[in-house]
Homo-oligomer: A and B are copies of this chain.
Amino acid sequence: MEPIKAGIVGLGRLGKVHASNVQNYIKDLELVAACSVVPEELKFAKESLGIQKGYESFEKMVDEAEIDAVIIVSPSSLHTKQIEYAFAAGKHVFCEKPLGVSLPEIEQVKKVIEARPEQVFMLGFMRRFDESYRYAKEIVESGEIGKVTLVRCYGIDPSSGLESFVKFAKNSSSGGLFIDMAIHDIDLVRWFTGEEVKQVWAIGNNFAYPELAEYGDTETGAALMKLKNDAIAILVSGRNANHGYHVETEIMGTKGMLRVAQEPEKNLVTIFDDKGVRRPCSEHFPERFKQAFINELTEFARCIREGDKPDVTAKDGLESTKIALACTKSFETGELVALEDE
């Protein structure tokens, strides 16, 4: 059986990860087209990954390349428009997070997606496809730890990237810490509890890189969230983990507690030397979620092949963005922010 033919748009850092995964590890998916406005990226796609056709225009790729699916890893502000175009053309779509950058456009694209249920749409919340998170989810679902009372999520980027991030923040906006970093954690809170957020309070500081404040960004932030059923969620997001890429999730239940990556261990090696007894850490997200990135596109292909619906939906994209925006508003105003009911 021939693999499903796909085109990719965006070949930056994460785009290259996805493209390389498809070409090397995912048997049922094959990239035959790539779109980028950077000529070097198209050259790379052709020469290193064997992606034969290069396009500068997304619309042209969708119209002309013989593809069934589109993988969107372009700048966030383009996501909704590209999803709509590809969906209208009958393509299955995988789109990196976030679904979009404003609520109205997200709400609109959600309608477009939901109107064509026979096409697969999947949002790149890859953590749900990480083996450890899946294992944790199974335990939670089994009832083994009882009813979830509290979820604590840490998402802290490595310090090694901070300096370059400061430069980046000068010139463009990440959307701020809660939009940029916390969105994955917000999705996990919703996924593990099955509950929506009711109210949030978010605070933060910039002790290591005070200049971040000038650019509207934050080094270390925290949010406390009350869920609709009174369960508690705590988020800590940051850009300054000296030991590596610290993504940790805790799910406290009435009968037990789980921690995923309590220590962000790189592998199974323990080093005993003059620095003590230590576990080397994951250095960045491509390392920590290497397999999860492969798994999510494997699942995307499976859904297309078997006519199945992915677990991650447009609604997940919408709700998580609402919450991230509420955190941002609370951080900016210093006040409690309530999420309105629909």
Cβ–Cβ < 8 Å partners of A205 in chain B:
149, 229-232
Inter-subunit contact B236/A150 (CB<8 Å): yes
In angstroms, Cα B262 to Cα A155, docked, is 18
Binary interface profile of A, 136-160, with partner B (CB < 8 Å = 1, else 0)? 1001000011110110100000010
Cβ–Cβ < 8 Å partners of A203 in chain B:
224, 226, 230, 232
Inter-subunit contact B135/A269 (CB<8 Å): yes
Number of copies: 4
**Candidates B240, B260, B268; contact of A269 at CB < 8 Å:** B260
User: In A172-192, which residues have CB < 8 Å from any B CB?
Assistant: none
User: In A207-228, which residues have CB < 8 Å from any B CB?
Assistant: 207-208, 219-224, 226
Determine the interface band of chain A, counting residues with CB < 8 A from chain B.
35 or more
**Candidates B221, B222, B255, B279; contact of A242 at CB < 8 Å:** B255
Inter-subunit contact B270/A208 (CB<8 Å): no
A50 on interface, CB distance cutoff 8 Å: yes
In angstroms, Cα B221 to Cα A244, docked, is 30
Inter-subunit contact B271/A258 (CB<8 Å): yes
Binary interface profile of A, 1-37, with partner B (CB < 8 Å = 1, else 0)? 1000000000000000000000111110000000000
Q: Using CB atoms and an 8 Å cutoff, list the residues of chain A in contact with chain B.
A: 1, 23-27, 50, 131-132, 135-136, 139, 144-147, 149-150, 152, 159, 201, 203-205, 207-208, 219-224, 226, 229-232, 234, 236, 238, 240-244, 246, 252, 254-281, 291, 335-336
